[in-house]
Structure 1
Amino acid sequence: MTTRSAETDVIVPKPSRTDTTTALWATQYGAWYPIHKRYTPKSIVIDLESVEPRFVEWLDEDGVVLANANDSRRARTLPQNDEAEVMSEPSDDEDDGAFFPALNAEIERALQAYGAVFPKLNWSAPQDAAWIMPGHTLRCQTPNDVYLLIKSSDFAMKDVVQLRELTQACEADSRYQRPRLQLVLKKWFDMPRSHEFRCFVRHAHVVAACQREISFYEHLQNPATQERIQSMLMDFYNENLAHTTPPDIVFDVYLTKNLDSCFLIDLNPWLDRTDTLLWTGEELEQAYAQPTRIPLRVLTSPAQASQALPTYSAHMVPADVIELSQGEHIAEFAQKWSSQLQEAAKP
């Protein structure tokens, strides 16, 4: 397949993408963090197969039963059907969840070292479950904070499925060892979303970038600021990633407020299922053929942000809440929802 360059009017051969096995293997956090830890937030990577082999089985179980971590603030069962009690405390004769003493100890050590942590699995953080936490962040201060986020997240389960796919692929590919499920605990620090950017690399060339948070930010409208950001993103890739990552990747970075430092937040495979945010897949493929300065896309007006749904909004309420609210005014919905809660709480 070829692409025509708009500037040179010549046919530019389009290289094939990095194969899926290589892309997934190389973008596991535990695979790239040791290489790039110098400019990545401090992290602890826990091999779940070694520390807690039952963890995947627990993730696969229905419902949200928190692991017993001796944490009275979080040790409760969250129902997922109409027959369960709503936010009920488990009685003495109820199953109070799996018990992971070794994993609890590992998480506690991380909390002692970092104060608070940001959890994720091999590829994904449970961003879709942040709504369930105080402040709607992934800031975890107890083991059960970690368990609650991971257990409630569709993104985490997709990582488990993706790991199984990679395991099957590696069995037929002698280049790679069998992958293992990992729990990553990153040191928490307040990171303004307005300074996070996603960069797209095609055949070892940064072809585009955009803001990660779908919101309007006044400071990103300044042309000089945009030029500085473009230069920082390009320099960071060329100096740190160009020779140590696959030729086709998507990487996320955080730029400090004064735009003098860059931190690597994540590496993602360039696959069809990877979120292109403010770009389309077709635009990114076309950008590869145009030898121009890295294009940076940001929202240019509050109206653009108002037209977009909040990030991960589809995951912020249970499906039964959505079904219950169809066609209702807010007062009617509130009354009906209250009645449903009271009914569900009856013995």
Structure 2
Amino acid sequence: KHGRFCEGFEEFEQSVKDAIIELGGVVVPKLTWSCPIDALFVSCEGNLKCKSAEEIFLLLQCSDVIVHDLYHAFDCVGEIFPGNGEEEKEEEEEEKKNDEITPDVEHSLVLKKWANLRSGREMRCYIFKNELKGICQRDP
């Protein structure tokens, strides 16, 4: 059926379909850290609401945010934590590393039950050492 996909994809696709049904038939996808919020242009309704595995895969495939999480999430780690004892690598090795999925991270596809939220009512909460430090409106 899906000869162009890697081995085991059919089982993964079926588990996604089963999860969609289990969550009421409408979900929001998230991959490890991020939602494919920049891929709304491919959504018929202009939101992350997905009713099928194909819609989920399309959003993930079209998202630069997801590509960043998969291939470039740790690009600036050396800049943030300099002097970690590693020698500088050649540019060729660095480019090769950036072209590979980070091997130390097991990425997860998370499906959340869809809820029609008004973005103007969403709030960001800032917590430090288990104490609420601030709240602000997410999307005014």
State TM-score, norm by structure 2: 0.68
Q: Aligned pairs, how many?
A: 111
Return the offset for 1:147: 0.6
Q: Which residue of 2 aligns with 1:122?
A: 32
1:162 matched to 2:69? The reply is: no
**What secondary structure sits across from 1:135 in the alignment?**
coil
Q: Which residue of 2 aligns with 1:145?
A: 55
1:183 to 99, 109, 117: 109
Return the offset for 1:179: 3.3
Higher RCO structure, 1 or 2 (CA under 8 Å, sep 6+): 2
**What secondary structure sits across from 1:162 in the alignment?**
coil
Deviating 4+ runs (over 4 angstroms): 163-166
**What secondary structure sits across from 1:208 in the alignment?**
strand
CA distance in 1 between counterparts of 2:129 and 2:13 reads: 42
CA distance in 2 between counterparts of 1:199 and 1:138 reads: 22
Decide whether the 8 Å contact of 1:121 with 1:182 is kept in 2: yes
CA distance in 2 between counterparts of 1:147 and 1:205 reads: 37
What whole-Å deviation, never above 9, does each CA across 1:287-346 have from its counterpart, x for those lacking one?
A: xxxxxxxxxxxxxxxxxxxxxxxxxxxxxxxxxxxxxxxxxxxxxxxxxxxxxxxxxxxx
Decide whether the 8 Å contact of 1:119 with 1:185 is kept in 2: yes
Distance change >3 Å, CA 97–CA 149, structure 1 → 2: farther
% same residue: 28
CA distance in 2 between counterparts of 1:148 and 1:187 reads: 18
Q: Which has the larger radius of gyration?
A: 1
Distance change >3 Å, CA 206–CA 119, structure 1 → 2: same
Return the offset for 1:191: 1.5
Distance change >3 Å, CA 133–CA 154, structure 1 → 2: same
Decide whether the 8 Å contact of 1:163 with 1:181 is kept in 2: no
Q: Which residue of 2 aligns with 1:199?
A: 125
Return the offset for 1:112: 1.4
Alignment RMSD: 2.6
| Equivalent residue letter for 1:124 | S
Q: Which residue of 2 aligns with 1:104?
A: 13
Distance change >3 Å, CA 145–CA 163, structure 1 → 2: farther
Q: Which residue of 2 aligns with 1:132?
A: 42
State TM-score, norm by structure 1: 0.29
What whole-Å deviation, never above 9, does each CA across 1:30-73 have from its counterpart, x for those lacking one?
A: xxxxxxxxxxxxxxxxxxxxxxxxxxxxxxxxxxxxxx5xxxxx
